[in-house]
Amino acid sequence: MAALITGIHHITALASDPQKNIDFYTGVLGLRLVKKTINFDAPDVYHFYFGDEVGSPGTILTFFPFKGARRGQKGVGETTFTAFSVPEGSLDFWKKRINSFGFPVSDIQERFGESFIRFEDHDGTGLELVASIGDERTGWNQGELDGDRAIKGFHSATLNLRAKDLTEELLLEQMDYQLIGEENGRYRYGTAGKAGDLLDIVLRQPDNRSMQSAGTVHHIAFRTADEQRQLEARQKLQEAGQMVTEVKDRNYFKSIYFREPGGVLFEVATDEPGFAIDETVEELGTTLRLPEWAEPNRVEIEKKLPSVSLNSQTP
């Protein structure tokens, strides 16, 4: 049977300041703001999607920036680090670049045979860049972030869990993942086993409990090709005892949600239809896009949202 789940679709985190958020992810990391919309469940909060040129599944980090939100705390039962894939040989460049904007960066380290650096944005969001071997995606190239440097998309995500057995069983039996290896207490899983589909479970527990607020990940979404496969995945998850939501229309994809046994909120999102349904590829992210049901309230919604600029000074 064809795989229902084929890797990571997007990761959604919480942030404190919409402008700083845009400045960091476009200005420092060179991702493209591919959609500026609202949190469908809280229309007075933005929802920003950052990714490659078109927001391909597997490249999209999204944020709900709650202005003035206090800083959260990474902990057990959460996605604690989001790793992006960058070209081999580019880590020295990235370390210098991120440093030059005033953000500390770790030394270059090794994991599963690949080099990586670790850093945080101004909210404490856990980020890594991995010099990924054999990742043929090109990312969004502009200026000095050319094909030898630009972020290609996700490499992997790290879940911090108290125990791994039930989550592993879910990944292996319901979500088309396989165990790839273990290194220093880090268990790595993959669907095809390449950048963009890798998921790590780490059992080393931080002393602190997690507190979800700015700088923490709200949920991680896995990709499925289309609505038919999503329904099949939903049924499979339900039959295994997962409490899965109804299908929700997120405009740019359809979604189902459930909380995996380790406490992390999982989503399964469709690759279709993507971000070019309500603006052209050239226009992506340049104006506030609203779902049809919110369009009649546009004036009111825009009044409540803080104004942001795509071309403000980088941090």
Contact set with Zn ion (CB under 5 A): 12, 221, 267
Please state the closest distance from residue 265 (CB atom) to Zn ion, in A: 9
- Of 8, 3, 6, 2, which is closest to residue 264 (Cα–Cα)? 8
Please state, in angstroms and rounded to a whole number, the distance separating the CA atoms of residues 50 and 140: 11
Residue 300 CA to residue 85 CA, distance in Å, equals: 39
Q: Which is nearer to Zn ion, 52 or 267 (CB)?
A: 267
Sign for the pseudo-dihedral over CA of 273, 279, 283, 285? negative
Closer residue to Zn ion (CB): 87 or 285: 285
Crossing angle between the packed helical segments 227-239 and 165-174, to the nearest 10 degrees: 140
Q: Name which of 4 and 221 has its Cβ closer to Zn ion.
A: 221
Burial of 143 (0-12, 13-18, 19+ CB in 10 A): exposed
What is the closest distance, in whole angstroms, from the C-beta atom of residue 82 to Zn ion in the complex?
13
What is the closest distance, in whole angstroms, from the C-beta atom of residue 309 to Zn ion in the complex?
25
**Reading across the β-sheet that carries 217-224, which strands appear in turn?**
32-39, 42-51, 60-65, 8-15, 217-224, 265-273, 253-259, 248-249
Which of 39, 213 has the CB closer to Zn ion? 39
Nearer to Zn ion, 62 or 90 (CB): 62
Residue 290 is given by DSSP the state -
Cα(13)–Cα(165) distance, integer angstroms:
26
Q: Which is nearer to Zn ion, 62 or 160 (CB)?
A: 62
